[in-house]
Amino acid sequence: MTADQSDDPKILSTTNHQFPNKPEKTLCVFCGSRDGSSPLFMEETENLAIKLASLNYGVIYGGGDLGLMGQVARTVINHKGYVHGVIPHPLFERERHSSTLSGQYGKTTVVQDMHTRKRLMGKEADGFIALPGGYGTLEELMEIVTWSQLGIHSKPIIVFNIDGFYDGLKVFLKSCVGTGFVGLGQSQILVFANTVDEVIEKFQNYKAPDGRLDLNWDIQ
């Protein structure tokens, strides 16, 4: 690993990677490190990545080369797009089977812990897209939704509901509203899309809903 100088001790190393173009926007993609049971998951992930690259939208993601994560990164890089992977050191050996920081997966930053990973991804991203995944994907999605609810950010959050994967989440959100635990406006922080074109359209036209908390997070 080659280390760049950093003022943050939790950033362990970062590769230098030259990209042909500076991305117009950078989207954080949350997704699984497995392929999933349906071929549609990998196919639609590839289609989304191609679309993002064609629009000169970059990707910041979890840094692995397996499953949907690897599909996103490889596809965007192969289409001359910007990719930045942020991965905690303990996960590097498990989710980065290429065992290299050569640039095949764009720029890679190795960090000390999960909190640093999410902080860096959230800071760089202009918006967030959740693809199918497991516990980690759901946890990342819900944390970034909570940040919006608390007024930490107002960036778009799009759920790509490939093959109905997130239908259960829709039902859960309706239950939360119906039982009084989530306000109607707050439930609209998440926007669902069923196609690649819908993902892009809803990202570009996203407006943060009413009902979020207007808190001041600046330390005086």
Residue type, 54: S
Query: Do residues 66 and 97 touch, judged by C-beta distance below 8 A?
Result: yes
pLDDT tens, 166-207? Answer: 999 999 999 999 999 999 999 999 999 999 999 999 999 999
> For the chain, which residues make up each domain, given as ranges?
23-204
Model confidence band, residue 97 (pLDDT cutoffs 50, 70, 90) = low
Model confidence band, residue 73 (pLDDT cutoffs 50, 70, 90) = very high
Residue type, 77: I
pLDDT of residue 1: 38
Which long-range contacts (C-beta less than 8 Å, at least 24 apart) are formed by 196-200? 196/44, 196/47, 196/48, 196/51, 196/160, 197/51, 199/48, 199/51, 199/129, 199/158, 199/160, 200/51, 200/55
pLDDT tens, 117-165? Answer: 999 999 999 999 999 999 999 999 999 999 999 999 999 999 999 999 9
Domain 23-204 in CATH 3.40.50.450? yes
163 in helix, strand or coil?
Answer: helix
* Residue 219 pLDDT > 50: yes
Angle value at C-alpha 167, between 162 and 169, nearest 5 degrees: 115
Contacts of 78 (CB under 8 A, 6+ apart): none
* Separation of alpha carbons 27 and 83, rounded Å: 10
Model confidence band, residue 15 (pLDDT cutoffs 50, 70, 90) = confident
* Separation of alpha carbons 160 and 192, rounded Å: 6
Phi, psi of 144, rounded to the nearest 5 degrees: -70, -30
The tokens 């965007």 sit on which residue? 76
Model confidence band, residue 103 (pLDDT cutoffs 50, 70, 90) = low
* Separation of alpha carbons 88 and 108, rounded Å: 11
**77, two tokens:** 């890089």
Model confidence band, residue 5 (pLDDT cutoffs 50, 70, 90) = very low
114 in helix, strand or coil?
Answer: helix
* Separation of alpha carbons 213 and 195, rounded Å: 31
Percent of the chain that is helix, strand, coil (3-state, to 5): 40, 15, 45
